[in-house]
Structure 1
């Protein structure tokens, strides 16, 4: 099961580690996702949601 945001689809992206001598090696950046109980189409389920979507949805509910 991949850790991808259910709302916006944000997931892993690739990039480079760059050393002091400017050597590049591949690495991945993981999305900051948390498992949250959310309601989708009237059903509650535990899904992964990124923190940006959590912040946005929390402000809408307030």
Structure 2
């Protein structure tokens, strides 16, 4: 299972972490994914959704 948002597709980002002495090491940033029961096509389904999609109301949560 990939570490991606099921709504917008946001995934891990990669880059370099640069120290004060300019030593560079590889670093990954993970999205803040939350397990959520949401209504998809009229039925509740478990999704992994980033907090930006939750906050903006892109999904309807199941009760």
Aligned residues: 59
**Is the partner of 1:52 in helix, strand or coil?**
helix
2: distance between equivalents of 1:43 and 1:22?
Answer: 52
1: distance between equivalents of 2:9 and 2:42?
Answer: 20
Q: Following superposition, which runs of at least 4 residues in structure 1 exceed 3 angstroms of deviation?
A: none
TM-score, length-scaled by structure 2: 0.83
Structure 1 portions without partners, runs of 5+: none
Provide the alpha-carbon RMSD of the alignment: 1.7
TM-score, length-scaled by structure 1: 0.84
2: distance between equivalents of 1:39 and 1:15?
Answer: 35
Structure 2 portions without partners, runs of 5+: none
1: distance between equivalents of 2:50 and 2:20?
Answer: 32
- Pairing 1:24–2:32 present: no
Query: How much does 1:40 deviate?
Result: 1.3
